[in-house]
Amino acid sequence: MSKFSTQFSLNLPQSAVRFSLIFMSIFGLWGCDKLAHHQPKTTQQAEAVEEPTFTTNQLLRGVYSDLTLSINDVNNHNKASFLRDLLEGLVIYDREGHIIPAVAESWSTKDNKIWRFKIRKTAKWSSGNPVTAHDFVQSWQFLTQQPTALKQYLSFINLKNAAAVMKGEMPLDQLGVRALDDLTLEIELDKPTPSLPEMLVHVALLPMKYGKRAEFESNGAYRFVGLQGKFITLEKNPQYWDHENVHFDQVIYQKLGENQSVTDLDVVAEPIHKGEANQQFPQLCTYFYEFNLNDPKLRQSAVRTALVSMISPQSIVQNEHINGIPINEFLPRNMQLQENSNWQASLVEQLLQQSGISETKPLQLKVSYDQEGIHSSIANRLVRAWSQSDLIRAEPDPMSWTQLQEKRRKGEFQVIRSGWCADYNEPSAFFQLLYSQHPDNTAGFKNEEVDHLLAQSLKAQTQAERTAIYSKIQSIVKQERVFLPIFQYTQNSYISPTIKGFDNTNPTGVIYSKDLQRKTNSN
């Protein structure tokens, strides 16, 4: 996860661990699967083909980008969704976005540092061969040698020796993943990481069969059939361990044109014509402003409390037509361990005056932001709201996105536009920003109690223990007013009214085709 490290306007930014990779043009799908070296059964890429006739037993998913059979080339939601239909990792999300067993039927740890995952005996590749712990070892080792930023995710999960292996300083067999036997995978980390199961759902960690093969091998709910024009066909994988609960016989991925309506399809994420979207999914991303706690005035919690209390996120985003929902907390709504409090005004002048601020010595406040998209409008609304007080002299400080990142890095700001995206659905993905030594803690927040609680959370053995710790941290963040929350990002999607099997409170952005089914007159 990372502070927003790419430019964005109204669209959801990519986090740095959802790495921006080099796009390959891959509706000529086979040519771009460099890893498998297999050949297609049939392709008609250069010929005009008749559009197929679809049935109710087929799920139609629309995408705007080319797709890929290579994990190395995944750099957007559509590519990840496609591969998640074909490949399955140790864990997956349920419909609500919670981690559940997948290829691994169970896991255990004594210290949150060494983990053992039991591979289910019924997990098989589409060839009929068993999925083994060795497949994961080989896939992760192979990933370390690829020219892709995705491999950095191995370091992100704290996999032992990942950085050294990727640099070529240690051999592959020193990577912290090993097969104790065919059905037991051991993962060793550099430090305790209780959220490892949640982190393992990432698309980078899917297993793959490499080498020359007659056809692409799948261990997921569907297997690859072929490409015909702008359509890619997947069919139900009879070898999939849970195939009896897969509803659609086929999934058809169709590449869409910019002016094409989506209402004759079943699932389309972020349709270009926003008016066609009929579902809004929350995302694990929040938009907020940070205070520089190295500033003599902003270092005082009373000043930050006064500033935050003058801002109503609901009013700030009103009529902005953002893909988001206003929030009053730093965390996404689904991660909040306490009820999302309503905005409440405080005695602003009293708080400011007790901090040595007066009309003759007003608080001079620069609001730094990048000028693209909605940022100027939101920043200027903040400036106007704060300027209503005679004790505050707020002024906008617009700049380019590159300049904003440089100011943040150097700590040369007072109040700066920011945001955070999580790569896994667990509060630690956000709370790590509060650790005094974290490289992205550019606001200078230092709290010994928070550092101690974060250290405790790494040793906690149960989810209940971690939840209690996280609740304490959230209380401190709320009390200290470390951030000025504005909104949580959402993703607009089109899902046919005939489709069920999804939950629109799922914040992960993942909808597996295997979970969907078509409504009938009886349901």
Residue-averaged pLDDT of the chain? 88
As annotated, the residues of the chain forming the CATH 3.90.76.10 domain(s) are 2-273+497-518
Q: Is 90 exceeded by the pLDDT of residue 23?
A: no
- Of 320, 317, 330, residue with least CA distance to 285: 330
Give the per-residue pLDDT at 15.
37
CA distance 85 to 233: 11
As annotated, the residues of the chain forming the CATH 3.10.105.10 domain(s) are 283-490
By percentage, how much of the chain surpasses pLDDT 90? 79
Q: What is the pLDDT of residues 237-296, one digit of tens each?
A: 999 999 999 999 999 999 999 889 999 999 999 999 888 889 999 999 999 999 999 999
Q: What angle do CA 79, 508, 264 make, to 5 degrees?
A: 55
Q: Is 90 exceeded by the pLDDT of residue 224?
A: yes
CA distance 493 to 272: 10
CA distance 456 to 485: 26
List residues bridging with 492 in a β-sheet. 280
Q: What is the pLDDT of residues 329-377, one digit of tens each?
A: 889 999 987 665 554 555 888 899 999 999 999 999 999 999 988 999 9
Give the per-residue pLDDT at 26.
32
CA-based Rg of the chain, rounded to a whole angstrom?
A: 25
Q: What are phi and psi of 90, to 5 degrees?
A: -65, -35
- Of 220, 285, 199, 416, residue with least CA distance to 10: 285
Give the per-residue pLDDT at 5.
32
Q: Given pLDDT bands bounded at 50, 70 and 90, which one contains residue 319? A: confident
CA 125 to chain centre: 27
Q: Is 60 exceeded by the pLDDT of residue 43?
A: no
Name residues whose C-beta falls within 8 Å of residue 46's C-beta, 6 or more positions apart in sequence. none
Across the chain, which distance is largest between two alpha carbons, in Å?
Answer: 79
Give the per-residue pLDDT at 277.
85
Per DSSP, helices labelled H in 310-462 are 313-316, 348-353, 375-386, 401-410, 428-431, 448-459
Name residues whose C-beta falls within 8 Å of residue 180's C-beta, 6 or more positions apart in sequence. 116, 133, 186
Q: What is the pLDDT of residues 447-465, one digit of tens each?
A: 999 999 999 999 998 989 9
User: What dotted CATH number matches 2-273+497-518?
Assistant: 3.90.76.10
Give the per-residue pLDDT at 338.
66
Containing 119, the helix (H) or strand (E) segment is strand 114-119
Q: Given pLDDT bands bounded at 50, 70 and 90, which one contains residue 523? A: low
Q: What is the pLDDT of residues 441-451, one digit of tens each?
A: 999 999 999 99
pLDDT, average across residues 153-182: 97
CA distance 15 to 439: 15
Identify whether the C-beta of residue 436 lies closer than 8 Å to the C-beta of residue 172: no
Q: What is the pLDDT of residues 381-404, one digit of tens each?
A: 999 999 999 999 999 999 999 999
CA 79 to chain centre: 14
Residue type, 498: T
Give the per-residue pLDDT at 37.
30
Structure tokens at 351: 């708080």
CA distance 359 to 300: 18
Beta strands in 435-518 (DSSP E): 483-495, 499-500, 517-518
Give the per-residue pLDDT at 347.
82
Angle between helix 463-480 and 448-459 (nearest 10): 160
List residues bridging with 115 in a β-sheet. 109, 187
Superfamily of domain 283-490: Dipeptide-binding Protein; Domain 3 (3.10.105.10)
Sign of CA dihedral 506, 508, 511, 515: negative
Give the per-residue pLDDT at 341.
55
Identify whether the C-beta of residue 313 lies closer than 8 Å to the C-beta of residue 484: no
Structure tokens at 454: 């974060």
Strands 58-63 and 250-255 turn out to be parallel
Q: Is 50 exceeded by the pLDDT of residue 95?
A: yes
pLDDT, average across residues 181-189: 98
C-alpha separations of 247 from 52, 74, 471 in Å: 21, 26, 40
Identify whether the C-beta of residue 442 lies closer than 8 Å to the C-beta of residue 426: no
Higher pLDDT, 166 or 1: 166
Measured in Å, how far apart are the chain's first and last C-alpha atoms? 39
Higher pLDDT, 122 or 36: 122
Residues in the chain: 523
Structure tokens at 129: 């061969």
Q: Is 90 exceeded by the pLDDT of residue 12?
A: no
CA distance 176 to 158: 9
Name residues whose C-beta falls within 8 Å of residue 278's C-beta, 6 or more positions apart in sequence. 493, 494, 495, 497
pLDDT, average across residues 4-27: 30
Residue 345's CB is within 10 A of a number of other CB atoms, namely 9
Q: Following DSSP, what letter does each residue of 380-422 receive, concatenated?
A: HHHHHHHTTSTTEEEEEEEE-HHHHHHHHHHT--SEEEEEEE-
pLDDT, average across residues 214-230: 93
Structure tokens at 243: 């195939």
Strands 184-188 and 177-181 turn out to be antiparallel
C-alpha separations of 41 from 29, 226, 323 in Å: 12, 7, 42
Residue 126's CB is within 10 A of a number of other CB atoms, namely 21
Q: Is 80 exceeded by the pLDDT of residue 25?
A: no
Q: What are phi and psi of 43, to 5 degrees?
A: -140, 150
Residue 133's CB is within 10 A of a number of other CB atoms, namely 25
Strands 177-181 and 415-421 turn out to be unpaired
